[in-house]
Amino acid sequence: MKKREVIAKRAAEEIKDGNYVTLGNGIPTHITSYLNPRIKVTFLGENGVLGMGPPPKKDEVDPDLINPSKETITIKPGAAFFKTSDSFNMIRGGHVNLTFLGGL
């Protein structure tokens, strides 16, 4: 297993049912691949989308719906879009349970 996968898998273990979790770019966007499928989580992309869903199927791709790593996503019912700065305000204001930001 590659180091990036080990990091993403370990981070996924910290996420609990009902959490609101911010995902930044890079490794954080891969955390979703290692989540326990029985838990319900609301994902906030640091790029300003609350309610990110899984990657789309080929016939569902909308190039305007992306995660912080610029990969296409789906959105869940009730999703919201806002400025990136508001996303970071939610993080700093303590409105999310966990935040995983990418390091450059």
pTM of the model: 0.88
- Per the structure, the count of domains in the chain is 1
Question: Phi and psi for 77 in degrees, rounded to 5?
Answer: -55, 135
Q: Is 38 helix (H, G, I), strand (E, B) or coil?
A: coil
CATH of residue 12's domain is: 3.40.1080.10
Q: Which residues are catalytic?
A: 46
List pLDDT tens digits, range 3-39.
999 999 999 999 999 999 999 888 998 898 899 989 9
Structure tokens at 11: 């981070």
Range of the domain at 75: 3-100
How far apart, in Å, are the Cα atoms of 64 and each of 39, 60, 73?
27, 12, 9
CA-closest candidate to residue 51, choices 12, 11, 10, 22: 22
Helix (H) or strand (E) holding 88: helix 84-92
List pLDDT tens digits, range 91-103.
999 999 999 988 7
